[in-house]
Structure 1
Amino acid sequence: MTAALSRAIVVDRPGAHRLVERELPPPGPGEVLVRVAAAGIYMSDRELYEGRRAPGYVRYPVVPGHEWSGTVEAVGAGVDPSLPGRPCVAEGFRSCGTCERCRYGETSLCTAGYAETGFTEPGAFADHVVVPARLLHPLPDGVDPRAAALLEPAAVVAAAVRAGRPRPGERIAVVGAGTLGLLAVQWLAASSPAELTVVDPRAERAVRALAFGATRALTPGEADGGTGHFDLVVETAGAPATAASSCLLARRGGRVVLTGMFTAGATGIDPVHLSVSQLEVRSVFGASSAAWADAVRALALGLLDPAPLVTHTFPLERFGEALALVGGGDPATGKVLLRP
């Protein structure tokens, strides 16, 4: 009997990838085998491909792909036998579940060591992916797989919203109108803010935020006049100056949540301003299990619809072409998906 085969994109080393065909990976005890429906490409995937990801956060050779949706195809020993056929997503961080931080529910801060699907473990730029069943989040039948593939960044936004605690009638700013920023606008619009402003130097991206629920869109230069104006500022850009500038946008006693991934050399936050203004500053790294549950619930209820963010879809065979679009600077490029 011929073994079933499954394709995957393997990045052997920075700058080198190949499409391989291999035996279908079986799920082990406590695992599920998922047929991938759609997988999003993010800037961190391009960093992985170009060798710009910190050594402790990638393990070559690797099958990338940490944003994805799919359908459970098979389960391993000890896993709920009713799961096959269910649409699903799964958390990327392979948290241990037993360390102190995990027991506090802070699974994105697991102290057992970094392990993440698509970076150190085989990911979803493939026909199939195997993940621990304890990380699985089943989805409603009939869910749009393109929208569900963006639940990973939506979970990061859910973590930011949890940290920011928006209240009805507040003045809120979102800095950055990329994937995270637009998802944040959608989510925060549901909190009934008095004002929801998006700040981004790319006029095309910022204007798009208006369709997602923002009340106005500003460039950073235009936003300077709003210094000290906002009750809550959610930073999503990760640009060199946006952590510091986001703190300047918040009113005295306001709240700032940093979700962008900053690189070495980013402008520091002025400690004098931080102290005198009595700001509350929180940062977000990934998403806890609770934030994932929030994102899945928001999608199921229709409070969140990431599908309009998708502008390009490619088969696995065109991975290189798809990757080149991400971060390429074309304002018409939104979210890029692979559809096995």
Structure 2
Amino acid sequence: MTAPANRRAARFRGEAVIDFTVDDLREVAPGEVRLRVDVCALCGSDKRLLAGGSAVVPGHEIAGTVVATGDGTSLPVGTRCIVYIPIFCGACDQCLRGQTNRCLRLRELIGWQRDGGFADVVDVPERCALPVPDDIGQDVAVLGLDTVGTAAHGLRLALRTQDEPPRRLLVVGCGPLGLGVVAVARAMGVEAVDAHDPHPGRLALAERLGAGTRVDLESENQYDVTVEVSGAAPARAVAQRVVVPGGAVLALGESNDPYTMPATPRWRRTDCFTVRSFYFPLAEVEGNWDLLRRCGPALRDVLAHPVTLPELAQAFEEFVAGDLLKPYIVSGAPA
């Protein structure tokens, strides 16, 4: 496999302006590997960089193939990988326990403070390149990052608060991550998974994944676990209202607004766990591959819309408008 001498990369200039540069590539740094980007999925959080601009190449949901390696690495050229975005130290107490998403020295995320995957190739620390099992394609493997990995980690934390498996779980917000929560909760064996979203098309996709969609948003004390995935204040209020005493509210939605709790008599008299999680630890990767085998192909089929890197600006335009749910920037290589 021949390593390229240069790369084409997307640059986010702010105010939805994207242009491309062709950059000469240096030798791969010691301890790092160079990946041909096979798939880089768009994420809702990328919209912030689209609006405000970025000093680095964005794109953090990456599946790629090793095309070159630096000194001190052991991954063979040709290895298919997904990219773990927190650049963890590997030496602090949390990392040594396998909780790499909680690294005490975490300073950089790939695609945020360091070049990401909206490019032909990307260099990453070898420890952040996670080999993909032979029976999982790149178009499914990439869902093991934000869509399934983040969903599964949050659900594992929330379920840990409960004395017995939940009988009813509600997902509020059916974007890609919310649909990931629906699929993962069902794969984990939650008895009844319901979903709500004001967008009828997204709600129909949740139904395709097995969620109930006839939901009472007003009555209190209905669900053992509620998962809020939009970050919107009304959605947060719903998740807090319908959870049973002793239940758990999992706050996965991102927002610039503070997370608040209701100043009501009912809330003051309610035992409840509020859970916030970030990404997933390497300790959970093997379990995530098993989940992907069960629910990944169905998720890909309802989410993914493949486009090429030169079509990135148009893909973002349709993504922001809600016309595309999960654009995949793909190379010409087979997935």
Instruction: Identify the TM-score tier after normalising by the shorter chain.
Output: 0.7 to 0.9
- Find the partner of 1:178 among 156, 175, 179: 175
Percent sequence identity is: 27
Match of 1:138 in 2: 131
Whether the aligned pair in 2 keeps the contact of 1:239 and 1:266 (CA below 8 Å) is no
Q: Residue type of the partner of 1:140?
A: P
**C-alpha distance in 2 between matches for 1:112 and 1:310:** 34
Match of 1:164 in 2: 158
**C-alpha distance in 1 between matches for 2:139 and 2:249:** 30
- Which aligned pairs between 1:95-244 and structure 2 lie closer than 5 A? 95-141=88-134, 143-153=136-146, 154-165=148-159, 168=165, 170-214=167-211, 216-218=212-214, 222-225=216-219, 227-244=220-237
Whether the aligned pair in 2 keeps the contact of 1:180 and 1:236 (CA below 8 Å) is yes
**C-alpha distance in 2 between matches for 1:171 and 1:26:** 53
Cα displacement (A) at 1:274: 4.3
Gaps of at least 5 residues in structure 2 are none
Cα displacement (A) at 1:106: 3.4
What secondary structure sits across from 1:95 in the alignment? coil
Cα displacement (A) at 1:129: 0.9
Gaps of at least 5 residues in structure 1 are 53-59
1:61 paired to 2:52: no
Whether the aligned pair in 2 keeps the contact of 1:164 and 1:256 (CA below 8 Å) is yes
For residues 297-326 of structure 1, the C-alpha deviation after alignment (integer angstroms, 9 at most, x for no partner) is 322x33433311334222111211111112
- Which aligned pairs between 1:67-106 and structure 2 lie closer than 5 A? 67-81=61-75, 83-106=76-99
Change (3 A) 1:97 1:274: farther
Cα displacement (A) at 1:251: 0.7
Whether the aligned pair in 1 keeps the contact of 2:159 and 2:165 (CA below 8 Å) is no
Aligned length: 324
What secondary structure sits across from 1:252 in the alignment? strand
Change (3 A) 1:271 1:71: farther
**C-alpha distance in 1 between matches for 2:84 and 2:134:** 19
**C-alpha distance in 2 between matches for 1:27 and 1:150:** 27
What secondary structure sits across from 1:198 in the alignment? strand
**C-alpha distance in 2 between matches for 1:262 and 1:269:** 17
Whether the aligned pair in 2 keeps the contact of 1:234 and 1:257 (CA below 8 Å) is yes
Change (3 A) 1:25 1:197: farther
Whether the aligned pair in 2 keeps the contact of 1:91 and 1:292 (CA below 8 Å) is no
Of the structure 1 ranges 255-264 and 6-15, higher mean CA displacement relative to structure 2 is found in 6-15
Cα displacement (A) at 1:194: 2.9
Cα displacement (A) at 1:196: 1.1
Change (3 A) 1:26 1:78: same
Whether the aligned pair in 2 keeps the contact of 1:231 and 1:255 (CA below 8 Å) is yes
Q: Residue type of the partner of 1:302?
A: R
For residues 4-27 of structure 1, the C-alpha deviation after alignment (integer angstroms, 9 at most, x for no partner) is 222111224554432122223532
What secondary structure sits across from 1:163 in the alignment? helix
Whether the aligned pair in 2 keeps the contact of 1:3 and 1:23 (CA below 8 Å) is no
Match of 2:21 in 1: 20
Alignment TM-score, normalising by the size of structure 2: 0.88
Of the structure 1 ranges 61-70 and 8-17, higher mean CA displacement relative to structure 2 is found in 8-17
1:335 paired to 2:326: yes
Cα displacement (A) at 1:113: 4.4
For residues 124-149 of structure 1, the C-alpha deviation after alignment (integer angstroms, 9 at most, x for no partner) is 00111111111221112253222222
Alignment TM-score, normalising by the size of structure 1: 0.87
Q: Residue type of the partner of 2:59?
A: G
Cα displacement (A) at 1:250: 0.8
**C-alpha distance in 2 between matches for 1:194 and 1:112:** 39
**C-alpha distance in 1 between matches for 2:93 and 2:47:** 33
Cα displacement (A) at 1:272: 5.2
Cα displacement (A) at 1:114: 3.0
For residues 50-85 of structure 1, the C-alpha deviation after alignment (integer angstroms, 9 at most, x for no partner) is 118xxxxxxx4211110111111222222115x321
Cα displacement (A) at 1:169: 6.0
What secondary structure sits across from 1:70 in the alignment? strand
